[in-house]
Chains A and B, each alone.
Chain A
Amino acid sequence: MLDILKQAWQVLSAMPDWSLFALFWVTILVEAPRHGMGLQATAMALLLRDYRHYGPLEPLPSVSILLVGHNEEDSIEKCVRSLYQQTFSKFEIVCVDDGSSDQTFEIMTRLWREGLVKSVAHLQLRGGKASAINLAARVAKGEIFLVIDCDCSFEPDAIEELLRPLASDPKVMAVSGNVLVRNWNASITASLQGIEYLLSISLGRAFSDALNQVSCVSGAFAAFRRSAWEQVGGMDIGSGEDFDFTLRLRMRGHKVAFARHAVCYTDVPVSTYNLLRQRNRWERDAIWIRYRKYSRLMSPFRRSFMWTEALHEWDFLIFNLIPTISFPFYIVWMLKEYGEYGLTLLFVVWLGLFIFDIAAFVSAAIVTGKWVYLRLAPFIPIFGLYQSYVMRLNRFYAYTTELIFSSSLTDNFVPKKARDLIDWR
């Protein structure tokens, strides 16, 4: 190890400064600022005294929880009953069964008879999550909608914390919950995702929130004001509906917040294959929504241009799309140019990222206050490799197939009947 480091130091010290930049531009321009943001968020959270607020909520209008499910017989009842264990329980629950072929509707009906659910609607044909949520919102009577995934579980005060920004700031129209990984100890893949969620959601969105740049309200756990919901006409068809919906809210000038103490837990894919498939879909959706549906947000020459929206669009372009597309070429170039030293230099890059990852990981644990995730520390050394090589190459595949073949349009997350009519090709 020391020999490699010594060798690397000799190579690097022999280079002029501009060569160092040419060699490590991805790291200097992309990795360092992105990882540094975690530290900044932590500093902001601590130094700006962004402590957790306790005490009763300000008076709130009525709250409706929208639960939609397709074949959720295993989780729906558990979810409904767990909601009544929350510290905030003045809500109605509206359930929509989106064409399930199992016992989901029967269970929903039983819960309705028990008085736990206010309304139940049954769709015999599956129409997709977005349209099912739209129906639930039509049936619901509340002035605030909580959208919750049936297979999630929550901290006892999660709903109270999620509603707190809406209660305290009338300008806030949507709030995203903090989604963490429940099955983080199920496999190495799940553990790596545990770290990833901690960094990208808990830390990343806390930072985005500080900059008023929350561009995706998690579809698993979020709250919306009815007025804003109706103003944008509810959710649009297509996968990535939560991201799409958030962008439409932001385009109307609505404030979107992130409640980091509103913690919800979800299960992530345990096998690498399932993870890559899931991420493939997410990444394609991001490209589809950003560059096909809302490409106008990028251009200052369009009437609908807004600086606040351009910021996160450019952020994605600069820190995500360009590095991902250029990364394979960068690796090939480095190996070709420096031969065996190329591997040494890549090792140096990894070492640098490792230090960043440790700092960001500790920051995330401090920001969320979930010390149990410190048990994921042994996976930090491979987290950088996993992000840089596995996930980035998967992203590369997703971006190129989406940009060239519009492959998201064949995604069966949305039923074909609806997919075929999507406008934004």
Chain B
Amino acid sequence: MPVEWIIAGFLVLGGLFGLIASFGLLRLSDPMQRLHAPTKAGTVGLWSILIASALYGALVEGRPVGHEVLIVLLLLVTAPITAIFLAKVHMHQRMREGDLPPSGTGRSWATFARGPHPGDRAGP
């Protein structure tokens, strides 16, 4: 019986974190602040739900829990990449080169670096 209370605790925790993540996405004022809520709190909320699902599958149903581990690992890898791409989109659209502190490497920030045009082909 205590196992079911632990599972219920994880479910409630995950629901609250998911709600807080979406509320933060709705209410925070700055786009860079808005990146924080879904990429951190949302991930924790989904992890709590998947931990509850793994506990329920292993201890109540008695099945292997490989799927939950796969989804958790996939989220661990993909959430920061999505966040950094969206931060770069915001920098690209809303900021100028002078708005940022110096990068400390002698070059500019990679988002503002001028590369060759994508349609151009190098060579003879």
Does chain A bind chain B?
no
Question: Which residues of B line the A interface, CB within 8 A?
Answer: none
Q: Which of A's residues lie within 8 Å of B, judged by CB?
A: none
